[in-house]
Structure 1
Amino acid sequence: MAQPPVPADNPMSDAKVALGRKLFYDADLSIDGTMSCATCHEQRRGFTDGNRSHPGVHGDPGRRNVQTLANVGWYGALTWGDARVNSLEAQALIPIAGTDPVEMGFAGQEAVLTARLEGQACYRRMFGEAFPEEGGAVTMAAIAKALAAFQRTLVSFDSPYDQRKRGEVVEISPEALRGERLFKANCASCHAGPLFTDADRAGAGFHRIDAPFAGDRGLGDVTGKPADAGRFRTPSLRNVTLSAPYLHDGSAPTLEAAIRRHRAAMRLGDRELADLIAFLSTLTDERFVTDPRFSLPKGGC
């Protein structure tokens, strides 16, 4: 894979990544100091959180299931149901200051957040190092840029599947090898390429996997088109065994249940389903979910 694309106005730097990592784990990014980005994106779960959805700081119910951040720097669509959100910089501000639903609670109170961070000597220094061209100003745009820079480092390509593709000696079960063949025949058109999603292309990656559906219309709520009702972004399958529950609403508690919701899986027998799950288990990247570069920073500034 080539490096993920980087906006011209947000070039990568070690200082920016370090700042983004600190912000990612800081509950000061929520209005009442109870929620950080990492609250919903836990490294050990492949940067998901294990719940159907996560309530916001005021108790507002979460709208959709938390998706993984693995390899998110390559995605051309960054939410379950809105193809217009296609940059990490734009997406970062949605949980912080969004209203549908309210998550971290800073809508209309962004100045409170910037003043809170600016009041800390540690952050004044880190913003100065990360954004010298802006005089180290603590702004919502700078916060988003730093978070986006950190997220672009969340690269996961060291699973047993990847190791085997590189020619390394890896023990893969016969069940997983059969499952890989099934996957290529039934799943790879949407869960495509090395990212295991077709959401790496802007404007692509939204599909309806089952019917009927009620309530959440997905892409249809944005476009207003009947044909888009029930279409949601294809989630990546990397580290998928760590990220239950599944689907846009978290309504599938197991991989088996999630697979059975796909029309293409209706004809699969129990053995074939087990083989498919065995293959998906080879997409777990243990290095990624334990890498100290992505974990909570050590104490101090």
Structure 2
Amino acid sequence: MGPDWRWALPQGVAAPGVPIDNGMSTAKVELGRRLFYDADLSADGTLACAGCHEQKRAFADGNATRPGVHGGAGRRNVPGLANVGWFTKLTVADPAITTLEAQALVPLFGERPVEMGMKGLDSELARRLGSDRCYRRMCARAFPERKGRIDTASVTAALAAFERTMISYRSAHDRGVLSSLAQEGARLFDARGCAACHDGPNFSDMDYHRLEPVQAPDPGLIEQTGRAEDAGRFRTPSLRNVVLTGPWWHDGRAQTLEAAIRRHPVAVADADMPALLAFLDGLTDPDFVSDPSLSRPDRACGRRL
């Protein structure tokens, strides 16, 4: 960690792992925050990371899938980003991507689908940011060991540092103040076997499961592994702030949380659904979606943006 960085974490919560070559610092987080909200990171200057990850939706999107800068259809539902610093797998169907630094390359340069459309435009990205005097100053402070070099590695490192500050541990569940109905829902959640996959502090086992027949055109994990048994398998999503991150499932086809639950091969009686939904609502962290340190910055280098 940088000498000026201190994690603000609840008692009993250990800091997330940080790559040895990308230690945390206030300057790096500030740079990453500005980059996260900057549409210049897309080919045509129309789409920022925050264009798909909205704070009011716990950094999800609100659409089933999101088209990229060239108008091509999105492929998968945009996930929320609460506590991504603790995730050991960073996409729903690619086990090779295990760091936030590597994941940032997917929306920036990916082609299936095209999101921000920067494939082949690394030098243009550096030129855009380097033409801004404030960005030059921010990069110099964030990366003194690189002499402030502005390139793709600096961009993804700063974005990852900012994303590691997306910490959400202030829900009613975390504070032990669930309503009686939500407490009943928590008991049902365990009794119905939901916690078998949605376990741990972020309600995900970070493993891959098939819960329904393979849906074309997205066969899931098999694309990366080539193993027939991986067809239709996707990583378990976190349930933190889940009521804010709809529509749900990897394809966004569940328009209500109840519909998302019903797609699971687990029988839930109609009479039990209100309690289960109340428990899921109790995983919402209102501080997370209103935290000004995670919102779009209005100043940089002492000047209004």
User: What is the aligned partner in structure 2 of residue 248 from structure 1?
Assistant: 250
Provide, for residues 4-52 of structure 1, a one-character-per-residue CA deviation record: whole Å limited to 9, x for no partner.
0000000000000000000000011011110000000000000001000
1:160 equivalent to 2:177? Answer no
Question: Post-superposition shift, 1:115?
Answer: 0.7
Q: 1:194 aligns with which of 190, 195, 201?
A: 201
Matching residue's letter, 1:14 = T
1:234 equivalent to 2:236? Answer yes
Residues in 2 aligned to 1:212 and 1:110: alpha-carbon distance in whole angstroms: 36
Residues in 2 aligned to 1:36 and 1:183: alpha-carbon distance in whole angstroms: 36
User: What is the aligned partner in structure 1 of residue 272 from structure 2?
Assistant: 272
User: What is the aligned partner in structure 2 of residue 26 from structure 1?
Assistant: 38
Which ranges of structure 2 fall in alignment gaps of 5 or more residues?
1-12
Residues in 1 aligned to 2:219 and 2:187: alpha-carbon distance in whole angstroms: 33
Paired residues in the alignment total 288
Question: Post-superposition shift, 1:119?
Answer: 0.7
1:182 equivalent to 2:194? Answer no
User: What is the aligned partner in structure 1 of residue 84 from structure 2?
Assistant: 72
Matching residue's letter, 1:175 = L
Residues in 1 aligned to 2:22 and 2:88: alpha-carbon distance in whole angstroms: 17
SS in 2 for 1:249: coil
Residues in 1 aligned to 2:292 and 2:91: alpha-carbon distance in whole angstroms: 27
Residues in 1 aligned to 2:237 and 2:189: alpha-carbon distance in whole angstroms: 15
Q: Residues 1-301 of structure 1: matches in 2 within 5 Å?
A: 1-164=13-176, 170=177, 172-185=178-191, 186-199=193-206, 205-211=207-213, 213-264=215-266, 267-301=267-301
Residues in 2 aligned to 1:231 and 1:211: alpha-carbon distance in whole angstroms: 10
SS in 2 for 1:287: coil
Identity between Structure 1 and Structure 2 (%): 56
SS in 1 for 2:299: coil
Residues in 2 aligned to 1:39 and 1:2: alpha-carbon distance in whole angstroms: 30
Residues in 2 aligned to 1:13 and 1:299: alpha-carbon distance in whole angstroms: 18
Residues in 1 aligned to 2:186 and 2:126: alpha-carbon distance in whole angstroms: 48
Provide, for residues 92-123 of structure 1, a one-character-per-residue CA deviation record: whole Å limited to 9, x for no partner.
11111111111111101111011110010010
SS in 2 for 1:156: coil
Residues in 2 aligned to 1:127 and 1:58: alpha-carbon distance in whole angstroms: 29
Provide, for residues 183-222 of structure 1, a one-character-per-residue CA deviation record: whole Å limited to 9, x for no partner.
12221111111111112xxxxx111112253321110111
Residues in 1 aligned to 2:190 and 2:54: alpha-carbon distance in whole angstroms: 29
After TM superposition, the score normalised by the length of structure 2 is 0.93
* Structure 2 contact 58–241 (Cα < 8 Å) conserved: yes
Question: Post-superposition shift, 1:141?
Answer: 0.5
* Structure 2 contact 214–231 (Cα < 8 Å) conserved: no
Residues in 1 aligned to 2:268 and 2:166: alpha-carbon distance in whole angstroms: 34
> In terms of mean alpha carbon deviation, does 182-191 or 137-146 score higher?
182-191
Residues in 2 aligned to 1:220 and 1:60: alpha-carbon distance in whole angstroms: 23
After TM superposition, the score normalised by the length of structure 1 is 0.94
Q: Residues 289 and 55 (structure 1 numbering): CA distance in 2 closer, same or farther, change over 3 Å?
A: same
Question: Post-superposition shift, 1:71?
Answer: 0.3
Which ranges of structure 1 fall in alignment gaps of 5 or more residues?
165-169, 200-204
Matching residue's letter, 2:24 = M
Matching residue's letter, 1:183 = F
Residues in 2 aligned to 1:238 and 1:92: alpha-carbon distance in whole angstroms: 21
Residues in 2 aligned to 1:187 and 1:295: alpha-carbon distance in whole angstroms: 33
Residues in 1 aligned to 2:19 and 2:277: alpha-carbon distance in whole angstroms: 37
* Structure 2 contact 243–284 (Cα < 8 Å) conserved: yes
